Amino acid sequence: MPLPRRRGVALALLSFVVALAWGAATTMPPGPASERVELVRTADAAAGDALLAAIGAQVEVASDDRVQALVPPAAVPALRRAARPVRLDDPAVFVPLQALSASTLVGADTWLQGGLTGRGQKVAILDTGFLDYPAALGSTLPAAVTVRSFRANGAVQGSSDHGRRAAEIVHSIAPGAELYLLSFSTVTELSAAVDYVIAQDIDIVSFSIGYIHDGPGDGTGDVDRIVTRATSNGVAWAVAAGNWAQQHWAGTFRDDNRDAINEFRPGVQQLAHYFATGDLITLSLRWEDDWNAACADYDIELFSPGGALIRSSRRLQECTGTPVEALQVLATETGNYYARVIRGNTVPARRLDVVFVGSPDRGAGVDLPVPGGSIGAPADHPGVVTVGALTMAIVRSEASYSSRGPTIDGRTKPEILAPTGIGVSGGETFAGTSAAAPHVAAAMALLREALPGITRAGLTAELQSRGVLLPGVQDGTPGARRLDLSSTAGIGPLLPIGAGGASLEGTVRPGASTAEVRYHGPAGYPLRFLDRLTGGRIVAGAWVIDRNTATWRGYVAGAPAGANAVDRLSEGDALVLILQ
């Protein structure tokens, strides 16, 4: 089963998956008289449309500069050769994922007890499958969710429950958030889903899908460009880092004996990884070179446990194309499989980046792992919050399998670590960084409710400021922090425990500009949240009687910090509200 030649191999970050599930995660195959292709417009859009019409293409999905279409098989070679006005972009390959949660693990329980639930926040879960989501409505999911498919065949549930599980995590931590379940399978369909996210003013995206070598690793690949459209419109993204830290090797091409074969360490020319019969093996190589104009030429080879060459990828890079070679094959026997990298020309040695993974992920890694730089796309994007997996041991730390930076341009990733391996509906568990990302998406929803008007960049900073440094990481040293919403450090007011039952005694008459009321509830209730107790009427300000001095103290909504004479209430406080 050869891997389609493309810039990279799209892999979801799930830990447990049947060997052939990736095929079921894509849209239904076209009929025998047509072939599904993804194209990127590189010149005049009208010229591209004219070319597609001339070859009898049937457009399924169009978004931004991308087109997904059914075309006659005989036309595909011509599209591959055409430099203008469209570029053929071979379809991404998904390998379904896994991951699940409890609010206490991230310190959100006190927020929920205080009445903050993510109310008014729109959270989209973009995924390849939401299997059995209808059965979860009203229990582990809200009673009502917005569901939309961007697949060519219109399917929502697909063959994987990965997206449903991610949505269940979000709901368990931010039960008041409005959820959108958006299904896709190709990069073009993902682009269309992002168009919808922007059009619907969705606040937050939870994204637990990863792409291997879909771009140079600096946040500028095809998928990253799609994400940029959303982040530039203020949409916050929580993105799974990936599960490939132990299945990754990086280093400069080395050939001490001058036989054109890379040495992964001195004298070792093969990289080993254990697989079982039926596993889907994916091997991908990227090297440092100009994207779409690679001059260095490297090839990869895959050998069986018995030493036989199974498959190779030998595209010619002659200052054209991408610096990527990739292949995919089913394991036919159990044992160690071996990867080899061959230099195809005499261009000076380049830095190599190898990802060697299997599905299902059995927890095995390569024999010479290099965790640094194992992060994929869009986790390498500078505008997203990349989420790694947190071990649940007594001394919490970054999980050994959790992918990490630095990115090719030297940025530290991930920014936040979150729990994984939590029980979900049906008594199962959801593991890997796929489970970690929705924890952070839900935390974003709580923060947005607590801090109205906060920007996407401000949200990222707020998450990091509330994070707890990992053991051994010192202040001032860049690195990931463990998500902990209970670590307030005096940053931003929270509703006190019990605030969900707070109330105002008195009458707020429709159309009235003032109201005399008395507060009942826990001490420390912030006046900025009075709108929650007035049935939606906007509070422009208030006068609160100081019972010790028998004087009135003023509050103005939106006033700078420290400008108000009073900003919190206690049980029994008398107020005069100024309403809009």
DSSP line for 228-264: HHHHTTT-EEEEE--S-GGGEEEEE---TT-SSB--S
Check pLDDT > 60 for residue 19: no
Model confidence at 16, pLDDT cuts 50, 70, 90, reads very low
Report pLDDT for 24.
31
Report pLDDT for 479.
58
Average of per-residue pLDDT across 263-286: 96
Model confidence at 450, pLDDT cuts 50, 70, 90, reads confident
Q: For the domain bounded by 103-238+376-482, which CATH number is listed?
A: 3.40.50.200
Furthest CA-CA distance within the chain = 91
Location of structure tokens 């991908």: 284
Domain 245-359 in CATH 2.60.120.380? The answer is: yes
Which range is least confidently modeled, 168-177, 239-248, 373-382, 423-432? 423-432
Domain 245-359 in the same topology as domain 27-89 = no
Query: Mean of the per-residue pLDDT values for the chain?
Result: 84
Total number of residues shown for the chain: 580
Torsion on CA atoms 130, 134, 135, 141, rounded to nearest 10: 80
Single-letter residue type at 390: L
Percent of the chain scoring above 90 in pLDDT:
51
Model confidence at 359, pLDDT cuts 50, 70, 90, reads confident
CA distance 343 to 352: 11
Which range is least confidently modeled, 75-84, 381-390, 440-449? 75-84
pTM, 2 dp: 0.80
Six token digits for residue 546? 């100081």
Check pLDDT > 80 for residue 392: no
Six token digits for residue 419? 């729990």
Q: Do 47 and 83 form a contact (C-beta atoms < 8 A)?
A: no
Q: How crowded is the C-beta side of 43, counted as CA atoms within 13 Å?
A: 11
Q: pLDDT digits over 38-50, tens only?
A: 888 877 778 888 8
Single-letter residue type at 295: C
Average of per-residue pLDDT across 399-428: 81
Report pLDDT for 104.
63
Model confidence at 81, pLDDT cuts 50, 70, 90, reads low
CA distance 471 to 450: 29
Location of structure tokens 């990222």: 460
Model confidence at 444, pLDDT cuts 50, 70, 90, reads very high
**Fold of the domain built from segment(s) 27-89:** Alpha-Beta Plaits (3.30.70)
Q: pLDDT digits over 156-197, tens only?
A: 887 788 999 999 999 999 999 999 999 999 999 999 999 999
Report pLDDT for 467.
73
CA distance 372 to 70: 40
DSSP label at 452? T
Report pLDDT for 9.
42
Average of per-residue pLDDT across 450-463: 85
Report pLDDT for 40.
85
Helix, strand or coil, per DSSP, at residue 212: strand
Q: pLDDT digits over 502-530, tens only?
A: 899 998 888 889 999 999 998 888 888 88
Check pLDDT > 90 for residue 259: yes
Q: Where are the domains of the chain?
A: 27-89, 103-238+376-482, 245-359, 501-579
Model confidence at 393, pLDDT cuts 50, 70, 90, reads low
Report pLDDT for 339.
98
